[in-house]
Amino acid sequence: MHGRYEHWRDPEKLRRLDHAEREQIMPKAPVIQALRLAAGLRVADVGAGTGYFALPIAVAVGRHGLVEAIDPSPVARGTIHDRAREAGLAQVMVRDGRAEATGLPAQSVDRVLWHALYHEVEDRAAAVAEMWRILKPGGLWVVVDWKPEATEKGPPVEDRVAPAVVVAEATRVGFRLVEEFRPGPVTYGLVLAKPEGTA
């Protein structure tokens, strides 16, 4: 996909992203709340997978908003496209891209979501710089990832990235930590802001 976990994007493993248990261990509501959505906002869901978050975000921003659902997997993009069309969500735009190169214009989105993505990205410095580039001043970047401890499901502990590391890498380019939150039993959440008046 975005790095060493590219094999997760085969069709069979993509289907596993939709299992019923996912809502229990990775509930949508806390993440949607952390994004502080409003009608008309433009949101980039980077590593959107099958649209688990892209579709409810699209509902929240409404017909005058926009969701850029970004994923390098053709199978994932096709799934999101079909689901958005079936749900009548024309505000979902599916884009081929990755964390290091989204293909979005500079300062074009109000919010960015990375869900269970940070630990997958190999060139994190480039990816963090890309989030800074695409966010408007005053925009928010919500990062949710696996806790850096052993859990029944999820990637190996040695591949996980602690929240303190995420904050250090983000603040290095200018992001400011706004909030830490608990999105679910196996993940941590961070809300990072691109300050007003920055380019």
pLDDT tens-digit readout, 23-80: 778 899 999 999 999 999 999 999 999 999 999 999 999 999 999 999 999 999 999 9
Q: Do residues 134 and 106 make contact, with C-beta atoms less than 8 angstroms apart?
A: yes
How far is residue 79's CA from residue 77's CA, in Å, rounded to a whole number?
5
How far is residue 79's CA from residue 148's CA, in Å, rounded to a whole number?
30
Query: Three-class SS of residue 119?
Result: helix
Mean pLDDT lowest among 11-15, 28-32, 51-55, 106-110: 11-15
Phi-psi map region of 163: left, alpha, beta (phi>0 left; psi -120 to 50 alpha): alpha
How far is residue 53's CA from residue 57's CA, in Å, rounded to a whole number?
6
135-172 pLDDT, tens digit per residue, is: 999 999 999 999 999 888 889 999 999 999 999 999 99
Higher pLDDT, 14 or 1: 14
Rg of the Cα trace of the chain?
A: 15
Amino acid at 30: P
Closest CA to 68 of 118, 36, 110: 110
pTM over 0.95: no
The CATH number fitting domain 6-193, selected from 3.40.309.10, 3.30.365.10, 3.40.50.150, 3.20.20.70: 3.40.50.150
Q: Do residues 45 and 80 make contact, with C-beta atoms less than 8 angstroms apart?
A: no
Q: Where are the domains positioned within the chain?
A: 6-193
Q: Do residues 25 and 153 make contact, with C-beta atoms less than 8 angstroms apart?
A: yes
How far is residue 174's CA from residue 128's CA, in Å, rounded to a whole number?
10
CA 25 to chain centre: 17
How far is residue 77's CA from residue 83's CA, in Å, rounded to a whole number?
10
How far is residue 137's CA from residue 13's CA, in Å, rounded to a whole number?
37
How far is residue 117's CA from residue 115's CA, in Å, rounded to a whole number?
5
**Using 50, 70 and 90 to split pLDDT, how confident is the model at 7?**
very low
